[in-house]
A and B are shown apart, each in its own frame.
Chain A
Amino acid sequence: MKWPALLSLILLVVVGCARNNDSREVVTFWAMGFEGEIVAQLLPEFERTHPGIRVELQQLPWTAAHEKLLTAYAGDSTPDLCQLGNTWIPEFAALGALEPLDIRLSGSTVIDIADYFQGIWNTNVIDGRVYGAPWYVDTRLPYYRRDLLLAAGFAQPPTTWLEWRKAMAAIKANAGPKGYAILLPLNEFEPLLALALQQDDPLLRDRGRHGNFRSAGFRRTLAFYQEMFDRGWAPQVSNNQISNVWDEFDKGMYSFYISGPWNIAEFKKRIPAQRQDEWMTMPLPGPNGPGASIAGGSSLVLFRASKHKQAAWQLLEYLSDVRTQARFQALTGDLPPRRTVWNDPRLANDPHAKAFRQQLERVKPTPKVPEWERIATEMRLVSEQMVNGKLSVDEAAAELDRRADAILEKRRWMLDRAGAK
C-alpha cells in the first residue's frame, strides 16, 4: 500500500528536478488562503507575456502564514514576492525583511499611486518609505436590516452617532427584551477599533512610544461603545455564542452587524431569496457625519533577501495592472484598491458594494508599530471587562494606557538607543 505512494513521490521529485533544466528565471511567490488559490489562474498569462520568467506559487493557510514567514526569515529562505496582510507590514519592515519600493515606483508606468485609495496606500508607507503595493482591500462597516430600520421610522440609514443612537433606541423598543439593535461580538476588536479611528486623536503618541487611550477622543468612543451595551442595544456575547450570525440577523435578533466585504457573498448565499432585499450595507456613521473605518487588506511585497527582485517586481506590476486587477476582482469578489477598477460596471452597479466604495475614501491605517496587534488584543480584553461592569470608561482608558506602555517598553528602549547613536 505504501509503495505506490512512495513511487509517485520519487516520480514527482524526478519530474521536479527535470523541470529545473528550464533556463527561465524562477520567481517564488507566496500567497495565502483563497486568494492564493485563485491567483494561480492569472499566472499563465504573465508567463506568456514574460517568457524569461517562471513563477513558482506556494499557497499558505492564513492561520500558519505569520509563523511560517517569521521562520522563513529566521532561516534565510524568504520568497521573492509575497502577499502580506497590511497590518503585518510594520513588523516585517522593522525586521528589515522588506525591500523599499520607492525607486521602482517612481519609474513605473503601471502603478499610479494617485489611483489608489489614500488610506489604503498609506498602510504600506513606514517612516516615509513604501514597502508594498495594495493588492485587495477590506474595511468594516455595518450591514443593516432595511425593513426593521423602516419599521422603526427611519427611511435612510443613519450617518452620525446621534442619528444612530436614535435608530438603535427605536429598534430596541420594537424588538422587546429578547431582541437587540446591534451585534458587537466581544471576541472581536475591529468594531471598537473602527469607531476609535474616527477620532482625531491618534491611538499612540510620540512616534508610538506610549498609548494615547486617555485622550478625549478615545474616551468618547469608549463611552459610546459602553452605552450600546448599557442600554441593551447590543447583547453581551461573543461570536462563538451566536454560532450563526447570518441566521440570527435574518431572524431579526439584531439590525446592525459591523463586518467586512467578504460577508456580502455570505449574506447573498445564506439569506433566503425571497428576503434578499431586507439587507443592505451602509457607510460607518461617525461622531459628526460619515466617519472613518479601518484600512485593511493585503499588499504585495518584495523581500530584501531576494535574488530575483527585478523579475519579482515585474510580477508585482502585472498583478497591480488595472486589467489584471479587474480579472482578479471578478474571480475572487475581493474589493480592488484602485479607483479605476471600481469603474467596471460589475462593481459600479453593485448596490451592496457601493457603501464600501464610499467608505474606502475614508479609511485610516492603524498605528504602524509591530506591537499593534498585541495592543489591539488588550483593547478587546479591557473593553470586555468594561462592558461586564468591572471597569468604568476612565478606568478602562487608564488600564489600556498602562498595558500599551508596558508592551511598548522595548520599542522605547530601541528608539532611545537609536537616538543616542
Chain B
Amino acid sequence: MSGGGRLAGWVFAGPALLVIGLFFLLPVICALALSVTDFDIYALADLDNLRFVGFGNYLALLQNPLFWKALGNTIYFVLVGVPLSIMVSLGAAVLLHSKLGRFKPFFRTAFFAPVVTTVVAVAVIWRYLFHTRYGLVNWGLSGLGIEPVDWLGDPHWAMPTIIGFAVWKNFGYNMIIFLSGLQAIPEDLYEAARIDGASAWPQFRHVTLPMLGPVLLLVGILTMAGYFQLFAEPYVMTQGGPLESTVSVLYLMYEQGFKWWNLGMASAVAFILFVLMGGITSGLLWFARRRGAEG
C-alpha cells in the first residue's frame, strides 16, 4: 500500500480509534490498575494510604464466600434464565408468525410492551402480584388448593421469581429478532417438507430451527451477555436478600464500589466478570463455528 493510502486509512479510522481509546481502553486500563490496589476512602483522603496489593483483591474475592454465592446465583440465573427466555421468545415469535394467528399487530405490541417499560415501575407491580398475603399469584394458587408461597421472602423462591420477572421483561426484544428471522425463511422449504409428509413438529425441527441457526447464535450471545449483568431486578425487588440468595456479581460490585467506596475491590470484581463473560462468549462462538452455524 502506498504511503498516501496508509495515511488516508489512518485518517478515516482515527476518530473511531480515538473515541475507543479514550472511552474504552483508557478506563479499562485505569480499572485494571485500580484493581491491584486497595483504593478506598482512606486513599481518597491521602494517597499515602494507598497500598499496592498485587493480586490481593482477587485472592480475597476467591476466598470470600459471598463472591462464590454471588457467582453461583448469577450462573443459576443465566443457566435457567437464558434458555427459558429464548424458548419463550421463540414460542411467541412462532405463534405470531403463524398464518392462523389473529390480531397480530395487537399481540406484537402487547408482547413487546414490557421491554419498553421501566424496571422500577413494573417491579412495584410485581412485588404486589407476588405478595405473600395479598398477591394475585397466591390468590390464584389458593383457588387450586395450593398453600401460599413466600415468593420474594423464601431463599428458594426468590431467584425463580426474579428469573420470571426478567424473562417476562425481556422476551419481547428477542421475539422481534426471531420474527424477522422467521420471515426470512423461504416458504417453498415448508412446501417441500409438506409434500414429503412432514407434520408441524418435524417442519419446525428440520426446517425452522436449522434456518434460524445464525439468529439463534446471535440471540444466545446477546441474551447471555445481558443476563450475566443481572443487577436492576434484585436491586429493586429484593436488595440481594433474602439470605443473599439474589446477590449477583454486579450487585456485589455495586455494593463494594458505590456503597463502601472500595474501588480497588470493585474493579477486581468487574475484571473477573469481564474475563468470565469473554471466555464463555468465545466458547459459544467456537462451538457454533464447529457446528457450522455461523454464516
Chain A residues close to B by CB (< 8 Å): 67, 70, 73-74, 91, 94-97, 186-187, 236-238, 240-241, 243, 370, 373-374, 381, 384-385, 388, 390, 410, 413-414
- Residues facing A in B233-248 (CB within 8 A) are 238-239, 241-244
Is the beta-carbon distance between B42 and A243 smaller than 8 angstroms?
A: no
Is the beta-carbon distance between B44 and A237 smaller than 8 angstroms?
A: no
- Would you list the 5 A-B pairs with minimal beta carbon distance, nearest first? A95-B45, A241-B153, A374-B260, A96-B45, A74-B44
What is the CB-to-nearest-CB distance from B54 to chain A, in angstroms, rounded to a whole number?
16
Is the beta-carbon distance between A95 and B41 smaller than 8 angstroms?
A: yes
- Residues facing A in B119-142 (CB within 8 A) are 127-128, 131-132, 134
Is the beta-carbon distance between B41 and A91 smaller than 8 angstroms?
A: yes
Report the nearest A residue to B258, measured CB to CB. A67
Taking CB atoms, residues of chain B closer than 8 Å to A94 are: 41-42, 45
- Residues facing A in B71-86 (CB within 8 A) are none
Is the beta-carbon distance between B241 and A187 smaller than 8 angstroms?
A: yes
Taking CB atoms, residues of chain A closer than 8 Å to B46 are: 96
Is the beta-carbon distance between B150 and A241 smaller than 8 angstroms?
A: yes
- Residues facing A in B160-187 (CB within 8 A) are none
Chain B residues bordering chain A, tally (CB within 8 A): 27
Is the beta-carbon distance between B40 and A410 smaller than 8 angstroms?
A: yes
Is the beta-carbon distance between B244 and A237 smaller than 8 angstroms?
A: no
Taking CB atoms, residues of chain B closer than 8 Å to A241 are: 131-132, 150, 152-153
What is the CB-to-nearest-CB distance from A243 to chain B, in angstroms, rounded to a whole number?
6
Taking CB atoms, residues of chain A closer than 8 Å to B150 are: 241
Query: How far apart sit A67 and B263, CA to CA, in the bound complex (Å)?
Result: 13
Is the beta-carbon distance between A384 and B41 smaller than 8 angstroms?
A: no
Tell me the dominant secondary structure on chain B's binding face: loop
Is the beta-carbon distance between B243 and A385 smaller than 8 angstroms?
A: yes
Ordered by A's residue number, 22 sampled pairs between the chains whose C-beta atoms are within 8 Å are A70-B41, A70-B44, A94-B41, A94-B45, A95-B41, A95-B44, A96-B46, A186-B241, A187-B241, A238-B242, A240-B127, A241-B131, A243-B128, A243-B134, A370-B42, A381-B244, A384-B241, A384-B242, A388-B243, A390-B243, A410-B38, A414-B49
- Name the contact of B127 in the complex, choosing from A236, A243, A390, A414 (C-beta under 8 A): A243
Query: How far apart sit A238 and B132, CA to CA, in the bound complex (Å)?
Result: 12
Taking CB atoms, residues of chain A closer than 8 Å to B153 are: 236-238, 240-241
What is the CB-to-nearest-CB distance from B56 to chain A, in angstroms, rounded to a whole number?
11
Is the beta-carbon distance between B44 and A73 smaller than 8 angstroms?
A: yes
Taking CB atoms, residues of chain B closer than 8 Å to A74 are: 44
Query: How far apart sit A131 and B277, CA to CA, in the bound complex (Å)?
Result: 47
- Further pairs besides A95-B44, A384-B242, A410-B38: 20, Cβ < 8 Å: A67-B258, A70-B41, A70-B44, A70-B261, A73-B44, A96-B45, A96-B46, A97-B45, A186-B241, A187-B241, A238-B241, A238-B242, A240-B239, A241-B131, A241-B150, A241-B152, A370-B41, A374-B260, A410-B42, A413-B51
Taking CB atoms, residues of chain B closer than 8 Å to A243 are: 127-128, 131, 134
- Residues facing A in B32-86 (CB within 8 A) are 38, 40-42, 44-46, 49, 51
